[in-house]
Amino acid sequence: MQEDQTPNAAPQDCGRRSALRQLAAVAATTFVPGAAMAQAGGKFALKIAISLPESHPTTAALKSACADIGKESGGRLTIDVYPNGQLGSDTDTVSQVRSGAIDFVCTAGTIWGNLVPVTSINTIAFAFPDYATVWKAMDGDLGAHIRGAFDKINLVPIGKVFDHGFRQTTTAAKPIVEPKDLAGLKIRVPASQILTSLFKGLDASPATVPIGELYTALQTKVVDGQENSLPTIDATKLYEVQKYCSYTSHMWDCFTLVGNKRIWSALPEDLRALATRNFEAHALKQRAAHDVLTASLETKLKGLGMQFNKVDVRPFREVLAKSGFYVEWQKKFGPEAWALLEKYSGKLV
């Protein structure tokens, strides 16, 4: 400005202008998209994207956590949850969080594995026999290893993981009883290399369909079946377009809340601690709620017309082993991560 060039400007004015220029320079180099965050009164407004519907236990837990965060922070930190893919598909919102256009996304290990393979190691087929094993692994050394991998893509996981359940297989024409029942079956999977690899290894024909389009894809026979946990099957009303649910329990997955690292780091430390504590508390509540819901859903879904059958998983695992599935993923994940997985699962290869 012209005034800055006037040699007779008051020293204090020059000092103020110099300080303002320095602040502007700092702001220009540290601006965080999406965090436009700090308002005049030191308040922060952020948003979370999730593809699951509002009725799902994970979405409900996130909303409850955000309500508590807003209340406990006295309105200094408000976080809005956008369910049902309102901000885009899983793939879209992951990209937006990486760029900073969205602050957080909560999605599955199967999705995160497309960026950093090891973040989906918990989804190895038939690795976990029960929940006792799952939580020992995910709240223990395996979970810590997975969390550390997000740093490679400048993202940060917040709080404990949410239970997304053991995945079961649903079909319209006939139940899945043995591996040959999957041969040639057009089965919907999320955008996940590991799930695609799993079903190819079982001689099925996996096809990627966003969760928001799954109901229509099943209704119009674009795909014959799909695989998800019971709460997801219920929340997305798949019982209206699928008759059989086979307890394959072929994979366990979780949803991880992950934030843009620059945006998260720009929050004051006390707000980060407050948010983490609340998200962790509600993740634990969600795990319990997910367990209770899953236990009640077979009865509910039977009443809505679905038929259920239990499956001996050993033949499926044997077919996968012969197909090279475990050897392939052992190489992709590397010896350190694989050893941590087998610490809890037992020998897989």
pLDDT digits (tens, 9 = 90+) for 79-134: 999 999 999 999 999 999 999 999 999 999 989 998 999 999 999 999 999 999 99
Q: Which of these, 37, 289, 339, 311, lies nearest to 168 by C-alpha position?
A: 311
- Average pLDDT for 205-224: 96
pTM of the model: 0.83
Contact 305, 101 (CB under 8 A): no
Which pLDDT band holds residue 166 (cuts at 50, 70, 90)? very high
Least confident range of 23-27, 181-185, 187-191, 341-345:
23-27
How high is the pLDDT of residue 32? 43
How high is the pLDDT of residue 24? 37
Largest CA distance in the chain: 89
If one compares 70 and 235, the residue with the highest pLDDT of the two is 70
How high is the pLDDT of residue 343? 97
- Is the pLDDT at 26 greater than 80, yes or no? no
How high is the pLDDT of residue 122? 96
**CA 328 – CA 344 distance, rounded (Å):** 20
How high is the pLDDT of residue 191? 86
DSSP states along 158-204 = -SSPEEEEEEEEEESSS---SGGGGTT-EEEE-S-HHHHHHHHHTT-
Which pLDDT band holds residue 39 (cuts at 50, 70, 90)? low
- Is the pLDDT at 78 greater than 60, yes or no? yes
- Is the pLDDT at 170 greater than 80, yes or no? yes
Return the structure tokens found at 174.
């006939």
**CA 207 – CA 214 distance, rounded (Å):** 11
How high is the pLDDT of residue 349? 81
How high is the pLDDT of residue 29? 34
If one compares 252 and 235, the residue with the highest pLDDT of the two is 252
Q: Mind listing the domains of the chain with CATH numbers?
A: 31-342 (3.40.190.170)
Least confident range of 7-21, 56-70, 97-111, 155-169:
7-21
